[in-house]
Amino acid sequence: MFKPHVTVANVVHVKGKFLIVEEIINNKSVWNQPAGHLEANETIFAAASYIRKPVLMHCPSN
C-alpha cells in the first residue's frame, strides 16, 4: 500500500512578527517554519490547525 509522506508547514504571523523554529539537522542549526506531517484521513486544514494552535498558546502576549 502506498503511504505518502506529506509535510504541512505554517506561516505564523502574530502582532507583526513571524514565528520560526530552530532545529538541528545533520548537526547543523537551521531555521524553519513550524511543521508536522499529514495523518491518514486528515485534511491539510486540520493538520495546519493542529500545528498552529499549540504554537500560538506558547507565544508571548506582548
Q: Where are the domains of the chain?
A: 7-57
| Cβ neighbours, 10 Å, residue 35 | 14
- Return the percentage of the chain with pLDDT > 70, whole number: 84
N-terminal to C-terminal alpha carbon distance within the chain? 48
Q: Is the entire prediction scored with pTM above 0.75?
A: no
Tens-digit pLDDT profile for residues 16-62: 888 888 999 999 999 998 888 888 888 888 888 877 777 667 666 65
| Residues ≥6 apart with Cβ < 8 Å to 37 | 5, 6, 7, 8, 47
pLDDT at 59: 67
Q: How far, in Å, CA of 34 to CA of 48, rounded?
A: 9
Three-state DSSP state, 46: helix
